[in-house]
Amino acid sequence: MNGTKAYLEHVAIWVSDIHWHIRFFEQVFGMTMREVDGPVAAPLQYWTLGGLQFIHAPEHEGPEGRLAHLGLMCEDLEAALAAARSYGVSELPQGRNWLRLPDGLAIELIQAKPASCVARARGIDPRVEA
C-alpha cells in the first residue's frame, strides 16, 4: 500500500436554512457545535460533533448537488497526497490538500494530530458491543 490510513472526519453540505439544520441535528441527535465560521447567530459555516458541516447557501435549491466535500483525516498527509496524485486527481484552489476526483467529488485531506488517532477511530465498530 502506497498511501496512508484515513477515516471520514466530516461531510460538508450546502443548506438553504442553516439554523433549521443546526436545531434539527442538535435536538434529534445531540450533535452540538464543534466549530463555527462567523457569529453563532448568523453562521457562514457550522461544524457538529458527529461529523457534519453545514455551509449556509440560502440561494441553493433542489435536492441534487448539496454535497460540498468529504473531509478525510489522514495518518500521513504527504503519503496520502502522493498516492492520490498517482491516480491523476486535480488540485483545487483551496490548497494542495484539496482534491477533485474525476467524477467531480471534492475531498479535503487533513493531517491527524496525533496520527495515532486514525487507528483508534478506525478501530471503533459501533455495531459490536465491547
- For 56-103, what is each residue's pLDDT tens digit? 998 877 666 688 899 999 999 999 999 998 888 999 999 999 999 887
CA-based nearest residue to 73, from 89, 51, 95, 104: 51
Three-state DSSP at 43 gives: coil
CA-based nearest residue to 105, from 56, 72, 64, 70: 70
pLDDT for position 115: 86
Sign, Cα dihedral of 93, 80, 107, 105? positive
The 10s digit of each residue's pLDDT in 12-40 is: 999 889 999 999 999 978 899 999 999 99
pLDDT at 130 over 70: no
**Global confidence as pTM:** 0.81
pLDDT for position 109: 93
Angle at 15 between CA 52 and CA 37, to 5 degrees: 60
45 CB-near residues (< 8 Å, 6+ apart): 36, 37, 38, 53, 54, 55, 56
pLDDT for position 29: 81
**Better pLDDT: 90 or 127:** 90
